Structure 1
C-alpha cells in the first residue's frame, strides 16, 4: 500500500511558486489544532503547543501504520491573528494570537486522536487538554512560497494586501495562514521555505 502524504495528495496546495501569487481552492481538511497567544520565539505556551501537536500526531500515525494504513505526518501550519492588525507590521509579537496545527488524513477521527492523546499523556507531553481535531474549510485562497526568514515576510504580505488583492477584486475571507515546509531548527533562516496563504472572497 502506498504511503499517504498530504503534500503529494494536494500538490497544488503544498508546492506554490515563489515568484507569483497563485489562486487555489482549498478543500475542507482535518487538523489537530491548538490555540494560544504570545511571541512564538519565547512564549512557553507556543513550545508546549508544538510538543503536544507532534506527540499526538506521531502517536496517531504509528497506530494507523500498525493497523495497516501508513502516512507521512504533515507539515506544521499556523493561523495568525491579532486584535490590532498593525501588531504584525510593528513586530508586537506578544499580542499575536495563533492556532498551530498539523493536517490529518481523512480516516483519522476522534477515537484515534483520543488514543493518541492517551499515549502522549503517558509520556508527559504538555497542553494536551487544549488539543482538538477540527475541520478547516478555507476555499478560495491566494498563496505564494516565501524563501527566507519569517521576519522578512512583511514586504510580500504588504504587496498581497495592498496591491494584488485590491487590483484583482479580492477581499479577506479568513486569517493569515502559514505552512512551514522547513525545520527551523535545521535550516538556515535565509533558506527557510514557508507557504503564505490568504483565504479570499471576490468583491
Structure 2
C-alpha cells in the first residue's frame, strides 16, 4: 500500500495510508452551509493562523451521523440519513507540539465575533490510517457522483467505511465563492 502526503489525492480513487495529523478542532451539528457552520470554519482558520499555520489554512471537516442512524457506506453517505442530523468536526492542522495552553492563547489572540463562550475548542489527532480517497473538482452538490465512484472502488478492494467521512477543502471558500474550480479531497477510513 502506498503512503501519501496529507494534502494529496489522485483524480482516480485510490487506497493509501495517510500520516498522523494534529489539529485545532471544534465540534458542530447540523447541515453544512449554515451560519453556525461558517462561523466555526472561520474561527478554526483564525486559530490555526495564530498557531503558525499557513496564511490560508486548509480547512478539513469530518462528518458522521448520530448513534441510531441508518448505517451508510461511502457511496450513499449523504443520501440515506437527513443531512440536518449530521455531526461534524471542523479541523485545521497545527504543529504536532501544540499544547492545550497554546490553543487557549491562540483562541484569545484570535478573539473576534466568531468566538463564543460555549465553543469547545480542542486539540485532536487523527492517527496514521488506511483510507480510500479521491480528488473532487467543482461544486459540493456534485460530490454524490464522486462518492459513488469512490464507493465502487472501495467495494472492489473489499473495503468498508470505518469512521467519519473526511473532506479536505484545499481551496478557501465562503458562502459566496463560486464552486466551479474548488478542489476537495474526499477521504474515508476503511477496514
User: Which residue number corresponds to residue 193 of structure 1?
Assistant: 183
- Separation in 2 of the partners of 1:171 and 1:92? 21
Answering whether residue 28 of structure 2 is matched by residue 75 of structure 1, we say no
Unaligned runs of 5+ residues in structure 1 are 1-9, 62-70
Aligned mates of 1:135, 1:24 — CA distance in 2: 18
Instruction: Give distance in 2, aligned partners of 1:17 and 1:183.
Output: 20
Q: By how many angstroms is 1:192 displaced?
A: 1.0
Q: Secondary structure at the match of 1:58?
A: helix
Rg larger in structure: 1
- Corresponding position of 1:53: 44
Aligned residue for 1:132? 122
Counterpart check, 1:12 vs 2:5: yes
State the distance in 1 between where 2:128 and 2:163 align.
7
The DSSP-based 3-state class of the residue aligned with 2:60 is strand
Offset of residue 59 of structure 1? 2.0
CA distance in structure 1 between the aligned counterparts of 2:137 and 2:92, rounded to whole angstroms? 21
Give yes or no for contact 2:134–2:150 (8 Å, CA) kept in 1. no
The answer to whether 1:27 aligns with 2:27 is: no
Shift of 1:168: 1.2
Q: Which residues in structure 2 correspond to 1:106-185 (within 5 Å)?
A: 106-121=96-111, 123-127=112-116, 129-137=119-127, 139-161=129-151, 163-185=152-174
**Partner Cα separation in structure 2 for residue 152 and residue 127 of structure 1:** 33
**TM-score, with normalisation over the residues of structure 2?**
0.82
Number of residues of Structure 1 aligned to a counterpart in Structure 2: 179
Structure richer in helix, relative to its length: 1
Structure 2 unaligned runs (5+)? none
Which residue does the alignment assign to 1:64? none
Could you state the TM-score of these two structures normalised by the residue count of structure 1? 0.77
Query: Do 2:133 and 2:150's aligned partners in 1 also have CA atoms closer than 8 Å?
Result: no
